[in-house]
Structures are given as C-alpha cells and as structure tokens.
Amino acid sequence: MSAAHVGVLALQGDTREHLAALREAGAEASTVRRLRELESVDALVIPGGESTTMSHLLRELELLEPLRARLAEGMPAYGSCAGMILLASEILDAGAGGREATPLKAIDMTVRRNAFGRQIDSFEGDIEFEGLDGPVHAVFIRAPWVERVGPGVEVLAEAAGHPVAVRQGRMLATSFHPEVTGDRRVHAMFVDSLRAR
C-alpha cells in the first residue's frame, strides 16, 4: 500500500515542523494553500497559529467551505493548538469584530481559546497520553482546552483537569505542539490511523 498523502495547511504556524514529523512517521507530506492542493491530499494537518487569522485566511483563499465539505465527507484531520480550535464544533471566546475563529465542526467538542492564558503563561510538561508508551512532553503556547466532548469523542490526555488531546473517528486534536519536541509518536498515531483505513 502506498504512503498516505497528508497535507499541512500552510497559512501560519509550524508548517515545516509538521511536514518533517509526518515524513518521519512514513507519510508523503506537502503544503496546502490552494483548492487543488486540498483536493489532492488524503488527510490534513491544521497547525498552530492564530485561529481568528487562520479563519480569515481560509475565507480569503476560498478554502473554508471546501475544507468543511471534505471534513464532513470523512477526510481525516489532525489539529494542534489553533488546529484543535478550528476542528471544534463550538468555540468559546471566538473573537469579535469580524475576526472570529470559525469552527469547522469536525469534532463534537467545545473548545476555549487561550484557556491557559496569554503568551507569557505558556508552559511545558510531561503528560500521560492514552495509547502511547510513556508520557508525552507537551508544549502549550497560548493553548486552548476542551470544555465539553460529545459521546463519540475519546479523551486521550488531560492537563489542569481539562482534555488537551482528543480523538473522534479519524479526527485527532491536541492543544499542545508535538511537532516542536522531536517526539513523533502523536504524528505516528495519526499516520497509522490512515493506514488502518
């Protein structure tokens, strides 16, 4: 079986780091900025960044509705930090003044933006992660947390009493940034789920 072709939404954030992590996990990986690139991938990673800016750029590039449609049709996706926010069905503190974060409604969850605080409140630490051997070193940067999960959502990790990693079907989301640590297990979990299709 050929390697899954995973796109990384390249509007903001750690695009290069996600591409490297996906390739190390055995996937073919490329950037996605245009509709034809979105249409050519089997799955998508939505990296961190600023969720209101990313929503604005998705609209400007006419990718928002095509991306929503692909996700609704079952295209697998993994979102880290802002990517988790965008994959949610509901976003708390979504922004204002025409610069709101727009939920893609791919995972049945309610996410609070910047839940752990501002940039100066960023932190890192080891957390237990369901399905992985040993803890994950998690880097939280202006990170969200999950306030509600639907019945089909599996909580994979928690911090400060809130879910920070979840999975629903072939959708995966973390509020932290595994791409910056050199630990490829979260990306490998996602790529392995594509092979299992």
Annotated binding site: 49-51, 113, 141-142
Beta carbons within 8 Å of 93's beta carbon, 6+ residues apart: 112, 113, 114
**Pairing state between β 107-112 and 88-92:** parallel
17 in active site: no
Query: Among the options 18, 56, 81, 187, which is catalytic?
Result: 81
177 in active site: yes
Residue ranges at the known binding site for L-glutamine: 49-51, 113, 141-142
Distance CA 173, CA 176 (A): 9
Task: Report which of 154, 164, 57 is spatially closest to residue 102, judged by C-alpha positions.
Answer: 57
Query: Among the options 18, 56, 177, 187, which is catalytic?
Result: 177
137 in active site: no
Using DSSP's 3-state secondary structure scheme, residue 90 falls into strand
Instruction: Give catalytic residue positions.
Output: 81, 177, 179
